[in-house]
Amino acid sequence: MALNDTHRVELASWVESAQTPGSSFPIQNLPFGVFKRTGRNEAPRVGVALGDQIVDITACLDEGLLAGAARTAGECCRRPQLNDLMAMGPEPVSALRRSLSELLRAESAAYHRDPGIAHRVLVPMYEAELRLPAVIGDYSDFYASIDHARNVGSMFRPNDPLLPNYKYVPIGYHGRASSIVLSGTQVRRPTGQLRDDPEQQPIVAPTRRLDYEIELGVFVGAGNPLGSPIPIMDADRHIFGCCLLNDWSARDIQSWEYQPLGPFLAKSFATTISPWVVTLEALEPFRVEAYVRPDGDPQPLPYLLWDSDQRRGGLDIRLEVYLRTATMRQRSQDPVLVSRGRFTSMYWTVAQLIAHHTSNGCNLRPGDLLGSGTVSGPEAESRGSLIERTWRGRDPLRLANGESRTFLADGDEIIMRGYCERPGFARIGFGECRGMIVPAA
């Protein structure tokens, strides 16, 4: 991908809310999602977010507002999921995004000929029900933050927090796709085997150490055949875009079950994602160099090392986590910020995750989802989970209203937000990823 006309900071839209200061969805973004109008007997379909509106791509097609490659790509948007559009690869998606950008600009010839198209192609967000953006066939979760790995490792192995493979292998595991849910879905506290006292038998009970993990979700675009690895220099061509991801974790279940095969029931009860997928093209202005490894760290092995990826494989995404307790809701109090980090702190790039995932010939398919792993930085306030913020419950997090938390209580709501900003470019965002804890069954 390269910078193009859709990234110009001076672009404005005839959709006035797109110019609202701090909006996640200016015209420079145009993230894709799936929606239907509330109360209508109609099939879900694909749209893009713009300000407080959804641009109905099916309506744009029916109005004859898309042509050529953009129309071909747009026909995939009549479907109730993004998988077919994802499968087309980056060029058709870019053509569609550029055509939508031209249509929605303040100087749009189509709009000035017929301003009535606004009523025919726009759906207010408050009138829409959002759906999962894709049929997610497979989900893999990584462990790409060295600060997170070092923090958690030091709680269990203080003398040797990082395992010998960490700086060579992008560590990951196969997650559960069936329990991925959309932002706003309530999350039921899971029950499982707990064993706090090594001298006692395990018990079955609701988790007492429920946690969040803020991550970046990466949606696969065009897939690869089984047995054909994706070279790191081609990895970007297989990435459709990114969303926010909350990898809910039951830490007490996890600590008992994870040896020797890793996470299982501690993670599979729910994973929450945000509804809008920000394309890799929209993120192009926020490319930065990859994490700079300190002296003494090994260089990535050849299949994970490409000069271009080292120069610009990082993504400067700011990530924030807010907590709103049941008491705060009752008192109409705003949620409080509990974590703020940046994706630039990740030890492995997204391209390296793709290259490693497929290095054994594993096939990725359109709509597959990769989690980056918890995004944590070196400072306390940049730690992306409660187990780190409270150091496994030793140092409770004190809230401004007098409450405190070591782990999440029933009624707690976690709200994740993400955005990118850089001088000379428009600020773009990911929207929100929300989930509220309800009691165990």
Residue 192 tokens read as 């499982």
Q: Which residue of the set 7, 112, 119, 148 is catalytic?
A: 148
State the Cα torsion 56-40-242-60 to the nearest 10°: -10
Cis ω on the peptide bond leading into residue 229 (within 30° of 0)?
Answer: no
Q: Scan for tokens 């900003």, then name that residue.
A: 421
Closest CA to 9 of 421, 292, 367: 421
Pairing of strands 128-131, 122-124: unpaired
Residue 7 tokens read as 């990234």
Q: Give the DSSP H or E segment for 99.
A: helix 90-104
Contact 378, 147 (CB under 8 A): yes
Q: Give the DSSP H or E segment for 335.
A: none
3 state SS for 206-267: ECCCEECEEEEEEEECCCCCCCCCCCHHHHHHHEEEEEEEECCEEHHHHHHHCCCCCCCCCC
Instruction: Kindly report the number of other CB atoms within 10 A of residue 297's CB atom.
Output: 13
- Give the number of residues written for the chain: 441
The question of whether 148 is a catalytic residue gets the answer yes
What whole-number distance in Å separates Cα of residue 245 and Cα of residue 336?
19
Helix-helix angle 90-104:68-75, to 10 degrees: 110
Active site residues: 148
